[in-house]
Amino acid sequence: MARVVVDVMPKPEILDPQGKAVLGALPRLGFSGVTDVRQGKRFELEVDGEVTDEVLASVAQMAETLLSNPVIENFEVRVERGEDA
């Protein structure tokens, strides 16, 4: 078993109202020094067996097809090794 992580973020040029809401809340709670917040999604995919290039390519395809909307979002695929988890 291995874990493949897909991070999905709104593209830099796309307005992120949720990130703006969080940014606005921080100073109200007394946290200072944060100049911007972008909010994205993290998907953790548990996959069977070795994470081969083929598996990664397949996950990238999942990310492009379903997990993200390439019109407004970018994604990154990475493997999370057991010992790092």
Shortest Å, Cβ 67 to another protein: 8
* Residue in 15, 33, 49, 84 binding another protein, rule: CB under 8 A: 15
20 binds another protein (CB under 8 A): yes
* Residue in 25, 27, 44, 69 binding another protein, rule: CB under 8 A: 69
18 binds another protein (CB under 8 A): yes
26 binds another protein (CB under 8 A): no
Residues 78 and 80: their CA atoms lie apart, in Å, by 6
DSSP secondary structure of 42-83:
EEEEEESS---HHHHHHHHHHIIIII--TTTEEEEEEEE-GG
21 binds another protein (CB under 8 A): yes
Residues 52 and 60: their CA atoms lie apart, in Å, by 12
